[in-house]
Structure 1
Amino acid sequence: MAMAEHVKRFHGVWPHGLKGLVSGTATLLFFFFLVVIAALLNWMNIPIIRMTSFGQPILTSPTARIHHDRIQYPLNCSTSNTTETCPDNYPSVFELEESTSTETCPDYFRWIHQDLKPWKSSGITQDMIERGIPSADFRLLVVNGNAYVEKYRPGFQTRGAFTIWGILQLLRLYPGRIPDLDLLFFTGDKPQIMKRDYKGRNATSPPPVFHYCGEKAALDIVFPDWTFWGWAEVNITPWEQMLRAIKKGRERIKWEEREPYAYWKGNPRVAANRIDLLKCNLSDKIDWNVRLYKQDWRKEMGQGFRHSNLEDQCTHRYKIYVEGATWSVSEKYILACDSMTLMVKPRYYDFFSRSMVPMRHFWPIRRNNKCRDLKFAVEWGNNHTREAQTIGKAGSRYIDEMLRMRNVYDYMFHLLNEYSKLLKFKPTIPLEAQRVCAETAACSEKGLWKEFMMQSMVKSPSDKLPCTLPAPYEPRAIQASLDAKEKITKQVETWEAEYWEKRNDKKQ
C-alpha cells in the first residue's frame, strides 16, 4: 500500500478533537516508522512480487525499476563435467514499462522488405529449405521460444558459434516475441544464392539462405555479422565495448592535428583489390598521400595483439575502406574514427550500409583508379578541412546512432519476424538438431571466447518494444536513390579530372 494511503487511514481512526494531544506525535512516529522500513527493504534488496499483464509473477527490486539493471537469468553453468543443459526457467514473456513508446526504426531497416521480396508471392516452403542445405553451414529453428541447431559443416573460425550466440541473445532480450521459424545460414565470405541460377521458364524458386553480405547479383538474406558479439581470434571485443573504446581513442588527437594522409592497415592477401591498393603506398618515386601497413595476424597473436588495437588507429585525417574477399567487417570500425572515410567502391553490402550517401558519410574512390583518386581526395580534404571534417563526423555519427546494439537486435527481430510470415509450413525439430541456449553455448568455452560471450550476454528481458519497422521502399525511390548517389560520384570524378588537368598544365 502506498505511504500516503497509510497516513490517510491513520488519521481516519482518531477523533479530530484529540489531535492536539496525540495525533501529531503519533503521525510523525508512524511516518518515521514507514521511512525506516522502506530504507531497510531497499538496503536489503528484498524483492517485491508483482504481476505482469499476462498474470505471471515477476520479482522486482526496489533499487531496479528498469529491467536492464537486474539480472533475471544469469548463466547457470554446472560444476560437474556433464554436458550442459538448458534451464527450464527462462522467462517466456517480458513486462513493458507503462510509459513505453515505440520509435520508428532507422531508414536502413527498409531493406528488410527488399531482401525478402523474392519470396513475397510464393512464400517459403519446406522444399526450398531442403534444397538450400548444400549452401548452408547450419540450420537454426525456433520452436515455442526455444532454439535448435543442426550443423552441416564447420565454418571459418568461430563465426557460426558467435552468430548463434547473437540469436540466442535476441531470444533472451525479447522472450516470447520471436515466432517459430526455420532458417539456413552460411558463414563464409561469398554470397551463395545467385540470381542467374534461378532464371528461365523451368527455374525453381531460390532457397532462402541467411548470410553476412549481399551483392547485386545475389539473393542472400543479409544478417548482422558475428563480430557484434566479438571476434576472439583477433582480439576484437564485442561491438558495444569496441565502440566505446574507439570513441575514447578518437578523442586523443584532434582532427586538425592528425597526420594529413590516408591510412589503411589490414591483410592484403585475401583479395586482389587490396594487393592493388598497396601500389599506392609511399615510395622513392611518388607520394600518393597514403600510408599503408600490412597486418600479419599470426605475428600479432604471438605478440598479444599489441599493435592491432582498433582504438589506437584514429591517428590520420583520412582512413581507407577496401573490401577483402567480399565485404569487410572493418567498415564499421573505420567509419567510427571521425576521420573522413575514403571508400573504394564496394561490390558487396552489409545490412546497414545501403542507406549511406557519398560525400555525406564518405568520399567515393574508384576501384580501377585508386592511387590518383586517393591523392586527389587527400589534397581536397587538406584544402577544405571544414568540409572534410564534417564528412568524417557524419560517418562516425551514423555509426554511433544508427548502429547501436539495440538497433542491431531490432533489425534481427524484424528480419526474423518478417521471414517467419513467409513460411508455408509449421517448423518441426529435425532429428539431428540439438537444443541450444546460453548455457550450452558458453559454459564450456574458455579464454577470450568465454570472456566475449559474458560481455555480450543479455542478462534480462527488454522492458520496451522493438522500434517500429518502416514501410518498404517504393521501386522508384530505390532507383532515385541509386541515381542520386551515382550523380554525386560523377561530380567527384569531374572535380578530380579538372585537378589532374591543371597539374599537367603546370608541368608543361
Structure 2
Amino acid sequence: MQKFYGIIWPPRLNIKRGLATTTALLFFLIVAVFVSSFWIDTYKLSISVVNSINKNQEPPSIIIPSNCTTQNYQNQTQNYPIRTIHDLNLSIPRPTCPDYFRWIHEDLKPWKVTGITRDMVERAKPTAHFRLVIVDGKVYLEKYMKSIQTRDVFTIWGILQLLSHYPGRLPDLELMFDCDDQPVVRSRDYERGQPNAAVGPPPLFRYCGDRFTLDIVFPDWSFWGWAEINIKPWEGLLKEIKEGNKKSRWVDREPYAYWKGNPFVAETRQDLLKCNVSDKHDWNARLYVQDWILESQQGFKKSNLASQCTHRYKIYIEGYAWSVSEKHILACDSMTLLVNTRFHDFFTRYLQPVKHYWPIRADDKCKSIKFAVDWGNSHKQKAHEIGKASSDFIQEELKMDYVYDYMFHLLNEYAKLLKFKPMVPENSLAVEISSETMVSMAADGSEKKFMMESLVKSPTTSPCTMPPPYEPKILGDFYRKKLNAIRRVQKWENEYWEIKV
C-alpha cells in the first residue's frame, strides 16, 4: 500500500490512472469543504436570527428624518428588511389571537357566499369619507368629504403604520370608510324578500356597529392619538394607565362610582347627571362635566386619563354612539359599571358581565348605580376581581401589537372576498400617500407629535394565528351566558330595592 497526501492507494495502480483518480478525489474534497462551510455559515445565520427573535431584538429601526424630505425618507426605506426573517422559513410558532378576533368572521359573514363585487363597494360611497386602495404595497387615497376633527387623518395614519408593521404582507384591496359615529348599513334592508336582497349589502368600514346593522367594525382613530383633546397614542397611554393603577390600592380608593365626560352629546348622558350627589339623594355616584374648550385653554391639566383611576368604580355610558372612553375606563383596576349598551366596537363583544364589568340598567340608572356600589363595597374582593379582570384584559389582549394583528387579519379576510382586481383610481382626486407625506402635511403641535410617537419604526415577524369562526351553537351559548348574567344581576337588584322599600 502507498500513501499520497495522506490518502491510501491500492497496489498495482498504473501511474496515468492514479493521477486521474487523484485529481477527481481532490476535486470532490474541495467541493465537500465548500459545501460544509456553506451549511455551517447558513446554520450560524439561522441560529443568529433565532437568538435575536428569542431576545426580542428588532431589525434596524427606520426613522423619518426631522427635515421630512421625500428623498431622505426613500433613502432610509430602501434598506427596509422586509423578508429577513420570513425567507428563512424558521416555522416560528405564533400565539393564537384573542377570542374577540372571531368576530372578524361574523362581521364578514354577509359576503361569505356571494363575495364582494365592485358594485357593492361603489354603493358604500354615499356616506364614506374616503376610499383607500392598496396595490403592490402602496397606498392610494380618494377623499370624498372631511370627517369630524382628525378622525380620518389618524385612521389613515394607522393603516399606513400597519403596512410598516407587516411590510409586504397585505394583499391588494379597496375599501370605503365612514368616520361618523352611528352605523348605517341596516341588515333588514337586505333580508330575503327586500328589494336590495339580490344586490347584497355594501361593505362599509367604521368604528362601531350594533345588532341591527352590517357595517364592518375597525379599530378607532384614537389608538394613534386624538389630537383635539390631547389623548395620547394607545401604546404609551396604556403604560401610563398601568402605572397610574399602582398609585393607589383598590381598597384605598374612593368608594363611589366616578364619571367625567361631555353630557351634551346624548340624552342618556344628561339623564345620568340626575344621579349625582345632592342634598336629597346620594346614589353613590360622583359625576363631573368635562368642558373640553376650557380644558384646551388650560393645557389639559385636568384631563390626564392615567390619573383618573382614583375611585373603586368607574361608569361607562355611550354618547351619540359607542365612545372612545370605553377602553380607557376598562383599563383602570376600578370595577366598570357599564350602562347597558346598544353599540359595540371591535373588541367589546367578547366581554362578559360580572366577569369584566357590572351591568347597569339604562332605564333606571340611579338605583342601579346605587345597588352596584353597595354590592361592591359589601363584596370587596369580588368587586376588585372584576376590575382587575377588565384591566388585565386591556393590558394583555388589547396592546398595540394585537390592534395591528386585528387590522391585519380583518383586511386579509376582507381581501379574500373581493371578486374584482383592485386598481389605482384613475381620476385626479386619488393620490398616493405615505407616512412621510402625512407627517409633512400634519399641523404642528399634537397632530404631528402623536404621529411621531405612534410611528412604526421597524417590522414585526408575523401576526398571531387567526382563531376559527364560532360554531352557531357555541356563539348561541355565549350570548345566553351573557344575557343570563345580566338577568341575575337585575334579580339581585330587584330584591335589594324590595328590602329597602
Q: How does the TM-score come out when normalised to structure 1? A: 0.84
How do 1:169-248 residues align onto structure 2 when only pairs under 5 Å count? Answer: 169-199=161-191, 200-203=193-196, 204-248=199-243
How do 1:42-81 residues align onto structure 2 when only pairs under 5 Å count? Answer: 69-76=58-65, 78=67
Q: Secondary structure at the match of 1:318?
A: strand
Counterpart among 128, 131, 136 of residue 128 in structure 2: 136
Letter in 2 for 1:208: P
Question: Match of 2:7?
Answer: none
444 and 488 in structure 1: CA distance in 2 versus 1, 3 angstrom threshold: same
CA shift digits 1:147-185 (9 cap, x unpaired): 111000000111111111111011011111100000000
Give the deviation of 1:83 after TM superposition: 11
Question: Match of 1:107?
Answer: 99
- C-alpha contact 1:67 1:460 (8 A) present in aligned 2: no
327 and 79 in structure 1: CA distance in 2 versus 1, 3 angstrom threshold: closer
Separation (CA, whole Å) in 1 of partners of 2:304 and 2:42: 45
Give the deviation of 1:461 after TM superposition: 1.1
Residue 359, structure 1, aligned to residue 348, structure 2: no
Give the deviation of 1:73 after TM superposition: 2.4
Residue 378, structure 1, aligned to residue 370, structure 2: no
Gaps of 5+ in 2: 1-40, 44-48
Separation (CA, whole Å) in 2 of partners of 1:343 and 1:107: 21
Residue 269, structure 1, aligned to residue 257, structure 2: no
Question: Match of 2:112?
Answer: 120
- C-alpha contact 1:84 1:443 (8 A) present in aligned 2: no
Separation (CA, whole Å) in 1 of partners of 2:388 and 2:146: 40
Give the deviation of 1:76 after TM superposition: 4.2
CA shift digits 1:477-500 (9 cap, x unpaired): 222111111111111111111111
Separation (CA, whole Å) in 2 of partners of 1:65 and 1:314: 35
- C-alpha contact 1:68 1:459 (8 A) present in aligned 2: no
- C-alpha contact 1:86 1:437 (8 A) present in aligned 2: no
Question: Match of 1:469?
Answer: 466
Question: Match of 2:437?
Answer: 440
Counterpart among 311, 315, 320 of residue 316 in structure 1: 311
Separation (CA, whole Å) in 1 of partners of 2:492 and 2:302: 37
Residue 96, structure 1, aligned to residue 85, structure 2: yes
Separation (CA, whole Å) in 2 of partners of 1:121 and 1:375: 49
Question: Match of 1:27?
Answer: none
Give the deviation of 1:288 after TM superposition: 0.3
Separation (CA, whole Å) in 1 of partners of 2:129 and 2:57: 33
Separation (CA, whole Å) in 2 of partners of 1:180 and 1:485: 38
328 and 486 in structure 1: CA distance in 2 versus 1, 3 angstrom threshold: same
Give the deviation of 1:201 after TM superposition: 4.2
- C-alpha contact 2:331 2:390 (8 A) present in aligned 1: yes
Letter in 1 for 2:447: W
Separation (CA, whole Å) in 1 of partners of 2:84 and 2:404: 18
Question: Match of 2:140?
Answer: 148
Give the deviation of 1:192 after TM superposition: 1.9
Letter in 2 for 1:211: R
Counterpart among 441, 450, 470 of residue 452 in structure 1: 450
Separation (CA, whole Å) in 1 of partners of 2:67 and 2:222: 28
Question: Match of 2:409?
Answer: 414
- C-alpha contact 1:68 1:461 (8 A) present in aligned 2: no
Q: Secondary structure at the match of 1:256?
A: helix
Separation (CA, whole Å) in 1 of partners of 2:228 and 2:332: 23
Give the deviation of 1:102 after TM superposition: 1.1
Separation (CA, whole Å) in 2 of partners of 1:235 and 1:430: 35
- C-alpha contact 2:253 2:310 (8 A) present in aligned 1: yes
Letter in 2 for 1:179: P
234 and 84 in structure 1: CA distance in 2 versus 1, 3 angstrom threshold: farther
Q: Which stretch of structure 1 is more off in the superposition, 482-491 or 195-204?
A: 195-204
Separation (CA, whole Å) in 2 of partners of 1:492 and 1:223: 31
Question: Match of 2:21?
Answer: none
Q: How does the TM-score come out when normalised to structure 2? A: 0.85
Q: Secondary structure at the match of 2:363?
A: helix
Give the deviation of 1:443 after TM superposition: 2.2
- C-alpha contact 1:336 1:397 (8 A) present in aligned 2: yes
Question: Match of 1:343?
Answer: 338
Separation (CA, whole Å) in 2 of partners of 1:89 and 1:95: 14
CA shift digits 1:422-455 (9 cap, x unpaired): 0001000002211111101112322111111111
Separation (CA, whole Å) in 2 of partners of 1:67 and 1:315: 34
Identity %: 54
Q: Secondary structure at the match of 1:215?
A: coil
Question: Match of 2:4?
Answer: none
65 and 401 in structure 1: CA distance in 2 versus 1, 3 angstrom threshold: closer
Give the deviation of 1:94 after TM superposition: 3.0
Separation (CA, whole Å) in 2 of partners of 1:213 and 1:357: 18
Separation (CA, whole Å) in 1 of partners of 2:355 and 2:477: 17
- C-alpha contact 1:92 1:145 (8 A) present in aligned 2: no
Counterpart among 273, 278, 289 of residue 278 in structure 1: 273
Give the deviation of 1:369 after TM superposition: 1.1
215 and 148 in structure 1: CA distance in 2 versus 1, 3 angstrom threshold: same
Ranges of 4+ aligned residues in structure 1 off by more than 3 Å: 62-72, 76-80, 82-88
Gaps of 5+ in 1: 1-50, 54-59
Count matched residues: 447
Question: Match of 1:495?
Answer: 492
346 and 90 in structure 1: CA distance in 2 versus 1, 3 angstrom threshold: farther
CA shift digits 1:2-42 (9 cap, x unpaired): xxxxxxxxxxxxxxxxxxxxxxxxxxxxxxxxxxxxxxxxx
Give the deviation of 1:312 after TM superposition: 1.0
